[in-house]
Amino acid sequence: MFRVLIILTLFLYTIGCTNIQTINERYEIVQLIASQANLKLEKRTSSDFYLTTYHKGLGIVDKNLMVYIEGDGNAWDRKYRLSKNPTPKNPLGLKLAAKDAANSILYIARPCMYLEEQSLKDCPEKYWSSHRYSEQVISSINQVIDLAVGESSTMSLTLVGYSGGGTIAALIAARRNDVSSLVTIASNLVHGFWTKLHGISPLKGSLDPLDYVDDLSMIKQTHFVGAKDKVVPKIVMEQYLSKMSFKDNITIKVIKGFNHSCCWEKAWPDLLNATNANQ
pLDDT digits (tens, 9 = 90+) for 60-95: 767 899 999 999 998 777 666 778 889 999 999 999
Rg (CA), the chain: 18
Inter-residue contact 102 to 174 (CB < 8 Å): no
- 103 pLDDT exceeds 70? yes
pLDDT class of 278 with cuts at 50, 70, 90? very low
Inter-residue contact 264 to 162 (CB < 8 Å): yes
Structure confidence at residue 21 (pLDDT)? 54
* CA 11 – CA 82 distance, rounded (Å): 29
Could you read off the pLDDT of 192-230 as tens digits, one per residue? 999 999 998 899 999 999 999 999 999 999 999 999 999
- 5 pLDDT exceeds 60? no
Could you read off the pLDDT of 111-168 as tens digits, one per residue? 999 988 888 888 999 999 999 999 999 999 999 999 999 888 778 999 999 999 999 9
Share of the chain above pLDDT 90, in %: 73
DSSP-derived letter for residue 62 is -
Structure confidence at residue 25 (pLDDT)? 84
* CATH value at residue 93: 3.40.50.1820
- 3 pLDDT exceeds 70? no
List CB contacts of 25: < 8 A, sequence separation 6 or more.
none
3 state SS of 181: strand
* CA 143 – CA 146 distance, rounded (Å): 5
- 13 pLDDT exceeds 80? no
Average pLDDT, the chain: 88
DSSP-derived letter for residue 93 is H
Three-point CA angle 68, 211, 218, nearest 5°: 65
- 186 pLDDT exceeds 80? yes
Q: Determine the structural domain holding residue 152 and report its residue range.
A: 2-277
Dihedral of alpha carbons 99, 148, 120, 137, sign: negative
pLDDT class of 245 with cuts at 50, 70, 90? confident
Buried b (16+ CB within 10 A) or exposed e, 200-224: eeebebbbbbbeebebbbebbbbbb
Neighbours of 34 (CB within 10 A): 20
Number of domains present in the structure of the chain: 1
Structure confidence at residue 15 (pLDDT)? 40
Alpha-carbon dihedral 161, 166, 171, 176, rounded to 10 degrees? 30
- 9 pLDDT exceeds 60? no
Name the H helices within 18-85: 23-36
- The pTM of the full predicted model, rounded to 2 decimals, is 0.90
* CA 267 – CA 99 distance, rounded (Å): 9
CA nearest neighbour of 172 among 67, 56, 45, 61: 67
* CA 98 – CA 92 distance, rounded (Å): 10
Low-confidence winner among 171-180, 206-215, 268-277 (lowest mean pLDDT)? 268-277
Structure confidence at residue 61 (pLDDT)? 66
Inter-residue contact 161 to 167 (CB < 8 Å): yes
CA nearest neighbour of 239 among 190, 191, 170: 190
Q: What is the mean pLDDT of residues 49-55?
A: 95
pLDDT class of 10 with cuts at 50, 70, 90? very low
- Between 274 and 278, name the one with better pLDDT: 274
Neighbours of 156 (CB within 10 A): 15
* CA 50 – CA 260 distance, rounded (Å): 28
- 19 pLDDT exceeds 70? no
- 279 pLDDT exceeds 90? no
